[in-house]
Amino acid sequence: MASPVAPYLEISQAIEEAGGEALRKCYQCGTCTGTCPWSSITEFNIRKLIRQGQFGFDGIEEFMWYCSTCNFCVSRCPRGVEIIDVVRAVRRVYSEGGLLPESLRVFVGSLSSRGNPWSGDPDKRNEWYNGEYPHFSEDTEYLYFTCCTVCYDPRNVRVARATAEILDRAGISWGLLGTDVNCCGESAGKVGDTALFERLKNNNEEIFKSNKVKKIIVNSPHCYYTFKKEYSGKYEVIHITELLADLIRDGKIVPKKDLSETKITYHDPCYLGRHSGIYDAPRDILRSIPGVELVEMEKSREQSMCCGGGGGGLWTERSKGERLSDLRMEEALGTGATVLATACPYCISMLEDSVKTMNADEKIKVKDITELILDSLE
């Protein structure tokens, strides 16, 4: 039985103080919900969440963990509301109040105690490389920073190995740091644990400073965004696709092996595309491989569909019918492509999962750009 409620403005104030002042600008037009990829498969309603935040209404805790911070709503919002900041602020208020959901506690705990979200042994961070790769020193030009996911996740380790091989063959000055670095901290910040994020960030920045790091190459667009926009900004951050595109253009890397009419479609990761504006470099790379026919999905570039892995989604179990990566896989299959290329370890994890649960192993393979390039160099 419904009864009238009064606004509980203390909650709105708490959200604003946690970084969500953008709440005020929203005029509830609904463009965000209309744009959000979750709207068609779940009950998640981002506009409603902001409304609940504006007045401190009940129900905000029910759906606030769905948002994968893909930035589609932000890019379309006519008032310029920084919606992701509001979501982070709401999550911060609740997680600081001890209300982090079960599914996310494991990875947050792991970040806190081991410096990576995969419960991996921190001393074994560099065990992925079975070759002799240079160690980073003051005179090294590029630091190759390995995302925790490419260090510890069995599928994504292949990405790290491919990247290292390519960097070696490109003849540039690069190196790796020791095992005292930790996760960039992005996921901690996105689920509202600001204190943990700060701790992880400070540790990394100390190490970068003492090693006089100037340029950082990353595989993960999440690391890319975080180092560029949320760290101190004292270094140049380069995504591996930007570097590869330049190397190919300058002839330092020459893709040789003809893939004989292979149809490849490219999935724009949210943090590389919408968040960072890099759409062309990966496509230039794919087009440089002989025998590749690049086909675009309808939801490509700025309109790319999120795989669901951001904002804590990578560690959250969703029931069938509520998975964005399944929808994305369907779209990829619809193009007739036999390879789904991408440039983000989170996307790879999510999409590989979907390949399995949809039994599409025979029809399509998920590959990172680095894996495709390494293949073509043989």
Element (H, E) at 293: strand 292-295
Minimum distance of another protein from residue 366's CB (angstroms): 22
Minimum distance of another protein from residue 166's CB (angstroms): 34
Nearer to another protein, 25 or 135 (CB): 25
Residue 60 and residue 11: Cα distance in Å, rounded?
10
Decide: helix, strand or coil at residue 265: strand
Among 3, 4, 80, 250, binds another protein (CB under 8 A): 80
Instruction: Choose one: 297-305, 335-343, 350-358, 360-368; the region binding another protein (CB under 8 A).
Output: 297-305
Residue 148 and residue 154: Cα distance in Å, rounded?
11
Q: Is residue 335 near another protein by the rule CB under 8 A?
A: no
Q: Is residue 342 near another protein by the rule CB under 8 A?
A: no
Minimum distance of another protein from residue 39's CB (angstroms): 4
Please check whether residue 322 is in contact with residue 82, taking contact to mean a CB–CB distance below 8 angstroms. Answer: no
Nearer to another protein, 40 or 319 (CB): 40
Which residues make Cβ contacts (< 8 Å) with residue 97, sequence separation at least 6?
Answer: none
Nearer to another protein, 287 or 299 (CB): 299
Residue 204 and residue 174: Cα distance in Å, rounded?
18
Helices (H), 183-279: 186-190, 194-210, 221-225, 240-249
Nearer to another protein, 55 or 129 (CB): 55
The dihedral formed by the CA atoms of 351, 355, 357 and 358, expressed in degrees to the nearest 10:
120
Of 136, 170, 137, nearest to 240 by C-alpha is 170
Nearer to another protein, 33 or 146 (CB): 33
Decide: helix, strand or coil at residue 93: helix
Nearer to another protein, 73 or 245 (CB): 73
Minimum distance of another protein from residue 59's CB (angstroms): 11
Nearer to another protein, 47 or 228 (CB): 47
Minimum distance of another protein from residue 287's CB (angstroms): 22
CA 125 to mean position of chain CA atoms:
20
Minimum distance of another protein from residue 62's CB (angstroms): 13
Amino acid 54 reads Q
Of 191, 270, 195, 271, nearest to 226 by C-alpha is 271
Q: Is residue 79 near another protein by the rule CB under 8 A?
A: yes
Minimum distance of another protein from residue 7's CB (angstroms): 18
Minimum distance of another protein from residue 90's CB (angstroms): 18
Residue 370 and residue 148: Cα distance in Å, rounded?
17
Q: Count the neighbouring beta carbons within 10 Å of the beta carbon of residue 362.
A: 8
Nearer to another protein, 72 or 118 (CB): 72
11-50 residues in contact with another protein (CB under 8 A) are: 27-31, 33-35, 39-40, 45, 47-48
Which residues make Cβ contacts (< 8 Å) with residue 292, sequence separation at least 6?
Answer: 259, 262, 264, 286
Among 298, 317, 362, 378, binds another protein (CB under 8 A): 298
Among 67, 77, 111, 164, binds another protein (CB under 8 A): 77
| Lookup: tokens for 126 | 């560099």
Nearer to another protein, 79 or 363 (CB): 79
What DSSP state is assigned to residue 176?
Answer: B
Nearer to another protein, 3 or 40 (CB): 40
| Lookup: tokens for 61 | 């805790």
| Lookup: tokens for 4 | 């009238």
Question: What is the separation, in whole angstroms, between the first and last Cα of the chain?
Answer: 69
Among 3, 6, 78, 139, binds another protein (CB under 8 A): 78
Number of amino acids touching another protein (CB under 8 A):
22
**Residues 122-161 as x/- pattern, contact with another protein by CB under 8 A:** ----------------------------------------
Minimum distance of another protein from residue 35's CB (angstroms): 4
Chain contacts with another protein (rule: CB under 8 A): 27-31, 33-35, 39-40, 45, 47-48, 75-80, 298, 302-303
